[in-house]
Chains A and B, each alone.
Chain A
Amino acid sequence: GAGVSQSPSNKVTEKGKDVELRCDPISGHTALYWYRQRLGQGLEFLIYFQGNSAPDKSGLPSDRFSAERTGESVSTLTIQRTQQEDSAVYLCASSSWGQGSYEQYFGPGTRLTVT
C-alpha cells in the first residue's frame, strides 16, 4: 500500500516568511511524528500525535513552530517567521498501535531552505 507522503519535497523561502509542510500518514496509522534533520546530523524529535490525545509538543524548538492534525489523517507543520537556522529536512513518520510504536515508517521529507 501507499507509504507516508510529504509535500512539498523542496521549499525555498525568504527569512521572515511563514511556511506550511504537509504529511499524509499511512492509512489506519493512529500515531504521527514530526522530526527535523539538520545537515550531517541525526533526527531531532519535534512533536507527536496519538489519536485524540493531546499532542506531545516537547520537542518544538520555539513558539514559531506549531503543528495540527485532524483525527487520524493529514498533519501540517507550520513555521512562522522563518530563520536561517530552520533550514533542514523535515521528516514525518507514522505508526500503528497494533504493530507497536517502534515501527515508525518515514516519509521522504521536505527539504526547507531559508535564504
Chain B
Amino acid sequence: QKEVEQDPGPLSVPEGAIVSLNCTYSNSAFQYFMWYRQYSRKGPELLMYTYSSGNKEDGRFTAQVDKSSKYISLFIRDSQPSDSATYLCAMSKGGGNKLVFGAGTILRVKS
C-alpha cells in the first residue's frame, strides 16, 4: 500500500463547477500538507499548504486537512479552463523532510 493515495482521474467538469480533489494517507507522522498544480511538461507549482488539521483559503482555492481521518482535500470554486492540469497532493513530517507525493489527479475543465 502506498503512503499517499490519490485517484488519478481524469476528472472532467464544466466551467464554473466546484471541484473537489482528495488524498488519503497512512502515516500519522505527516504534519505539513501541500497541493501542487502541474501543467503538461512543466514543474509542479505550489498552490496551497496547511500545517496540521484545519482549513486554509486562498482566492478560489480551499485546502482542508482532517488528521483524524488521514484525509486532505482541495476545493476549487468557479473552475476555469485554465485550471486544467494535474493536481498533486504532497505531505511531509516537517523539518526539512522530503515530500511524499500522491500520483496526481488530472483535471479537465470544459468551457
Which residues of A lie under 8 Å from residue B41 when comparing CB positions?
Answer: 108, 111
Count contacts on B: residues with CB < 8 A to the other chain: 28
Q: Chain A: interface residue count, which band?
A: 20 to 34
A42 touches B49 (CB 8 A): no
Report the Cα distance A91→B88, complex, angstroms: 14
Report the Cα distance A44→B97, complex, angstroms: 13
Would you list which residues of chain A between 1 and 53 have a CB under 8 Å from chain B?
A: 4, 31, 33, 35, 40-45, 48, 50
Report the Cα distance A93→B49, complex, angstroms: 16
Which residues of A lie under 8 Å from residue B13 when comparing CB positions?
Answer: none
B92 touches A42 (CB 8 A): no
* B residues whose Cβ falls under 8 Å from a Cβ of A: 4, 6, 8, 32, 34, 36, 41-46, 49, 51, 88, 90, 92, 94-104
21 contacts between A and B (CB under 8 A): A4-B43, A33-B98, A33-B99, A35-B101, A40-B8, A42-B101, A42-B102, A42-B103, A42-B104, A56-B98, A101-B94, A101-B97, A105-B46, A106-B36, A106-B44, A106-B45, A107-B43, A108-B41, A108-B43, A109-B43, A111-B41
